[in-house]
């Protein structure tokens, strides 16, 4: 074997003790695998695929906006449910007033009959007047969160926020006075059944009052139905946006677990290589 071949052969099997390149490469691999293991562990522990902007900047920007929309939609649903509760309270009070009007008509019919005398009509009139007073009391005492429901005589309009934006499509407006209910606007103020004439005159007025109460009850019911449709639409939007947000931001637990196990195996292999590379210097020293 000539000298050149001998030198080439020796160069192939050079062993260095000052700089252990093999150990440095193993350390670099260990660092990479450790970082990947930490990343997968963080995603598994938090359940979130995008923990910071460096993971996926675009998904983080979209996901943050969607999260705000999802939280806002949930609050809008609660707002709409509160509106339903308000008008259910009003409708319940109107139901009692309607029942009182039916009783007032019964008393008027009874008093209009010629087989009774004025003394007996006077006794019926006592109940009639008490029922009138109770009807007015129910109307004046019907409140929701401090707001009068049946005797708001102002010309104010209530705006209910049932959307997530500041526009007309996100608001519903209702005039407070549309449900106002008093003896005066029902047309039975100063009515009585003290005699036959009064009793017979009351029949037409009470029929008109029942019709007006029914109209207001229908209005309250229509508002409740509208709110239920609004809630249904909000719940659908909430579901779809939540699903989209999950696809962007939530971690795939099966994938991240497999990635963690794969990198742990690679890390263990790098540790083994590093151990062997560290022993090469000692082997080289034995040759001296």
Find the mean pLDDT for residues 108-131: 91
- Domain that includes residue 83, residue range: 76-249
DSSP codes, 16-27: -SS--HHHHHHH
Residue 288: helix, strand or coil by DSSP? coil
Looking at residue 28, what is its pLDDT?
86
Name, of 25-34, 112-121, 211-220, 277-286, the range with top average pLDDT: 211-220
Residue-wise over 264-276: b if at least 16 C-beta within 10 A, else e? bebbeebeebbee
Confidence of residue 7 (pLDDT cuts 50, 70, 90): very low
Looking at residue 288, what is its pLDDT?
63
Instruction: Determine what percent of the chain is predicted with pLDDT higher than 90.
Output: 48
Cα(156)–Cα(118) distance, integer angstroms: 46
Name the least confident of 15-19, 64-68, 209-213, 236-240.
15-19
- Is there a domain that residue 11 lies in? no
Looking at residue 15, what is its pLDDT?
56
- Is there a domain that residue 130 lies in? yes
Instruction: Flag whether pLDDT at 267 surpasses 50.
Output: yes
Name, of 79-88, 174-183, 274-283, the range with top average pLDDT: 79-88
Q: Could you tell me which residue, 284 or 144, shows the higher pLDDT? A: 144
Find the mean pLDDT for residues 104-110: 94
Looking at residue 111, what is its pLDDT?
93
Please tell me the total count of domains within the chain: 1
Task: Give which of 141, 136, 173, 182 is closest to 155, Cα–Cα.
Answer: 173
Instruction: Residue 134: give its domain's CATH number.
Output: 1.20.1330.10
- Return all residues near 205 (Cβ < 8 A) that are at least 6 apart: 187, 188, 191
Looking at residue 281, what is its pLDDT?
67
Residue 112, Cβ neighbours under 10 Å: how many?
Answer: 19
Q: Which two tokens stand for residue 209?
A: 């009052």
Instruction: Flag whether pLDDT at 13 surpasses 60.
Output: no
Q: Could you tell me which residue, 288 or 166, shows the higher pLDDT? A: 166
Looking at residue 222, what is its pLDDT?
93
- Is there a domain that residue 237 lies in? yes
Question: Would you say the C-alpha torsion 144, 150, 156, 158 has a positive or negative sign?
Answer: positive
Instruction: Flag whether pLDDT at 211 surpasses 90.
Output: yes
Q: Which two tokens stand for residue 88?
A: 């259910």
pLDDT (tens digit, 9 = 90+) per residue, 16-42?
A: 666 677 778 888 888 888 888 888 888
- Is there a domain that residue 60 lies in? no
- Is there a domain that residue 223 lies in? yes
For 82, counting Cβ atoms within 10 Å of its Cβ (0-12 exposed, 13-18 middle, 19+ buried), the class is middle
Looking at residue 285, what is its pLDDT?
64
- Is there a domain that residue 264 lies in? no
- Is there a domain that residue 71 lies in? no
Which is it for strands 157-161 and 147-148: parallel, antiparallel or unpaired?
Answer: unpaired
Q: Which two tokens stand for residue 40?
A: 């997968």
Instruction: Flag whether pLDDT at 116 surpasses 50.
Output: yes
- Is there a domain that residue 285 lies in? no
pLDDT (tens digit, 9 = 90+) per residue, 30-80?
A: 888 888 888 888 889 888 888 888 888 898 899 999 999 999 999 999 999
């Amino acid at each position: 074997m000539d000298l050149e071949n001998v030198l080439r052969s020796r160069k192939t099997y050079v062993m260095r003790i000052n700089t252990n390149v093999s150990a440095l490469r193993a350390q670099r691999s260990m660092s990479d695998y450790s970082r990947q293991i930490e990343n997968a562990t963080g995603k598994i522990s938090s359940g979130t695929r995008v923990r910071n902007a460096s993971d996926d900047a675009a998904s983080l920007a979209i996901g943050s906006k969607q999260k705000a929309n999802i939280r806002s939609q949930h609050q809008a649903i609660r707002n709409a449910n509160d509106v339903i509760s308000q008008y259910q309270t009003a409708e319940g009070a109107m139901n009692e007033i309607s029942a009182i009007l039916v009783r007032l008509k019964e008393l008027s019919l009874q008093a209009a009959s010629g087989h009774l005398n004025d003394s007996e009509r006077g006794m019926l009139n006592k109940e009639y007047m008490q029922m009138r007073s109770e009807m007015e009391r129910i109307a004046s005492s019907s409140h929701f969160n401090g707001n009068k429901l049946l005797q708001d005589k102002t010309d104010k309009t209530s705006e209910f926020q049932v959307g997530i934006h500041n526009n007309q499509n996100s608001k519903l407006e209702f005039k407070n006075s549309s449900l106002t209910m008093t003896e005066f606007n029902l047309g039975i103020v100063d009515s009585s059944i003290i005699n036959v004439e009064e009793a017979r005159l009351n029949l037409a007025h009470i029929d008109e009052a029942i019709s007006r109460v029914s109209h207001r009850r229908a209005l309250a019911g229509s508002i409740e139905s509208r709110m239920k449709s609004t809630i249904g639409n909000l719940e659908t939007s909430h579901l779809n946006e939540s699903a989209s947000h999950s696809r962007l931001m939530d971690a795939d637990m099966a994938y991240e677990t497999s990635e963690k196990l794969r990198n742990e195996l690679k890390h263990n292999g790098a540790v083994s290589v590093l151990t062997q590379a560290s022993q090469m210097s000692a082997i080289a020293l034995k040759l001296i």
